[in-house]
Amino acid sequence: MTQRSSAPAGPAPWRVLPAPVPPSPDHRDAWALHGSAAVSREADLDTYGHDDLALTAQYLWAKLQEQDYARRVRLVAVPADVPDPGPDDVVGSASVVLPRRSNHHVAHVAVAVRPAVRDGGSGSALVEAAEAIATAGGRSTVILESEHGGEPAEGTPGAMEPASGAGRIAADDPGAALCLKHGYALEQAARYSVLTLPVPPDRLAGLRAAATERAGADYRLVTWQDRAPQRWVDDWARLETRMSTDEPQAGLDLEEDPWDADRLRRYEQDIAASGHTYLLVAAEHVPTGTLAGFTMVQLQVDRPAPVFQEDTIVVGEHRGHRLGLLMKAGLLERLRELRPEARRVHTWNAEENAFMLGINVALGFRPAGVAGVWQKRLA
Ligand SMILES: CC(C)(COP(=O)(O)OP(=O)(O)OC[C@H]1O[C@@H](n2cnc3c(N)ncnc32)[C@H](O)[C@@H]1OP(=O)(O)O)[C@@H](O)C(=O)NCCC(=O)NCCS
């Protein structure tokens, strides 16, 4: 791999191209996905000191297969003077997602660059290429996420507060510097937290018992793995739709994202294709036979330790019964049986989401970093 430590004058040192979409992750055209996976791993080791969150080539491949609900492009930056690049030539990588069923004005972008080539212009080249795809796709708003290993303490020089007013990001972190350089505004900070497993069983049982008492006899937990029982699919879709509006969104220009049974079945297929399995715990409101909320995690099939928290919601009319805590404690108990080797649960919550953070802190999650959510209106 050619390494450049500063942006030279003259012809652009990097070429940005869309990753080919190969028929399988083992195909020779998957070089860009393997390169992107290596970038993700190096960037995460630099940011967090671990690679639990690193994206695998199989995951990246599975994401690109799903083009019905969003147009998805994976971009890679390679040295301009390498005509036939391979995985080791990929110095940076970006995902561009243009939703197709709602939010037709939005493009979601995430960028990562190998630490050894930072400040060499590849991050900027990827942002510019992603914005060009957004513009060509008729999008007016780009939402970009940056990842940071730690949240600066209040009063730290150079710490930025998001428009939401909650949380802080170090403005001189590479991800923040890239967003600022390209005219993005920091809308939100999301706390990254980790729960070390196993949670002491008596502690978990105590939390669950208190939440069960508060919830009362009108609610009971329902659990499934990898395929939702037909009975619950429409209800789960209703909850996913509500998730798109009920989670705090600061000043992000996002509208409701509708889910239905077909989309959930496709989601289940994509989880399996990406090398993951999922576990979901929902709360049934017994008198009406409907779901009041759910919480879900994904696990890698061939890597036992990390667990990835996905959505959690209790719909407004059922809040205040400790269902969030009840479902999450129930899920952790089920997880202990299903995957006793699990060691860490990773989650992100908006810093202004006091309700969700309160539940997570009670369960034992501890802060491990922060993500910035940035927004830019394209001219
Ligand atoms: C986070 C969430 C699941 C917690 O719901 P919950 O389990 O019902 O919360 P609790 O029972 O612990 O509620 C405690 C109190 O806060 C209130 N409350 C909980 N969430 C609330 C919210 N989002 N807005 C306003 N009040 C809320 C409850 O009414 C209750 O008040 P009370 O004690 O005066 O009756 C729920 O707020 C939610 O679904 N939020 C939207 C989706 C979301 O943000 N998910 C997390 C994304 S990371």
For ligand 1, is residue 276 a contact (CB within 6 Å)? no
Q: 164: how many CB neighbours lie within 10 A of its CB?
A: 21
pLDDT at 3 over 50: no
**pLDDT score, position 227:** 98
**Residue 87: alpha-carbon gap to chain centroid:** 24
Largest CA distance in the chain: 71
pLDDT at 5 over 70: no
Q: What is the mean pLDDT of the chain?
A: 95
For ligand 1, is residue 41 a contact (CB within 6 Å)? no
For ligand 1, is residue 13 a contact (CB within 6 Å)? no
pLDDT in tens, 75-123: 999 999 999 999 999 999 999 999 999 999 999 999 999 999 988 899 9
pLDDT in tens, 144-168: 999 999 999 888 999 999 999 999 9
What does the pLDDT average to over 30-47? 98
Q: 93: how many CB neighbours lie within 10 A of its CB?
A: 29
Q: Is the fold of 14-139 the same as that of 198-342?
A: yes
Class for the domain spanning 198-342: alpha beta
Give me the sign of the Cα torsion angle 147, 19, 181, 253: negative
Class for the domain spanning 14-139: alpha beta
pLDDT at 300 over 60: yes
For ligand 1, is residue 322 a contact (CB within 6 Å)? yes
Return the domain boundaries, the chain: 14-139, 198-342
For residue 319, give the ligand 1 atom closest to its CA: 8
pLDDT in tens, 305-358: 999 999 999 999 999 999 999 999 999 999 999 999 999 999 999 999 999 999
**pLDDT score, position 10:** 65
**Cα angle: 167, vertex 173, 175; to 5 degrees:** 90
